[in-house]
Amino acid sequence: MTIPNCLLLYAELKAARVLFIVRMAMRVCRVLEVFRMGTINYLDALKLQEKLVTDRKARKISDTLLSLQHPPTYTLGKRRTDYNLLVTESELQSMGAELHYTQRGGDITFHGPHQAILYPIISLRDIGHGARNYVEKLESTMIELASLYGVKARAGQAGEMGVWVGERKIGAIGVRISSGITSHGLAFNIDPDLSYFKHIVPCGIADKEVTSLRRESNETLPAEEGDDSKRCLSMSLDGFNPNFAYATWCLREHCKLLEKQPRHGLLEFIWASR
Residues 6+ apart with CB under 8 A from 5: none
From the list 29, 203, 232, 250, the catalytic residue is: 203
How far is Cα 148 from Cα 15, in angstroms, rounded to an integer? 46
Domains of the chain (ranges, CATH numbers) = 31-273 (3.30.930.10)
| DSSP string for 191-251 | S--GGGGGGB-GGG-TT-EE--HHHH--S----SHHHHHHHHHHHHHHHHHHHH--SEEEE
The burial class, CB within 10 Å (0-12 / 13-18 / 19+), for 46 is middle
How far is Cα 88 from Cα 2, in angstroms, rounded to an integer? 73
pLDDT recorded at residue 11: 62
Instruction: Provide the whole-model pTM.
Output: 0.80
Active site residue 255: no
Q: Are strands 73-76 and 98-101 parallel, antiparallel or unpaired?
A: parallel
Closest CA to 154 of 162, 145, 163, 146: 163
Q: Are strands 31-39 and 63-69 parallel, antiparallel or unpaired?
A: parallel
User: pLDDT 10s digit of each residue in the chain, 274 long?
Assistant: 565 555 565 566 666 565 555 555 455 567 899 998 889 999 999 999 999 999 999 999 999 999 999 999 999 988 878 888 999 989 999 999 999 999 999 889 999 999 999 999 999 999 889 999 999 999 999 999 999 889 999 998 877 889 999 999 999 999 999 999 999 999 999 999 999 999 999 878 888 899 999 999 976 665 444 456 666 677 777 778 778 888 777 887 644 443 433 433 333 333 332 2
How far is Cα 6 from Cα 205, in angstroms, rounded to an integer? 61
88-123: pLDDT as tens digits: 989 999 999 999 999 999 889 999 999 999 999 999
How far is Cα 73 from Cα 95, in angstroms, rounded to an integer? 10
Residue 274, number of CB atoms within 10 A of its CB: 7
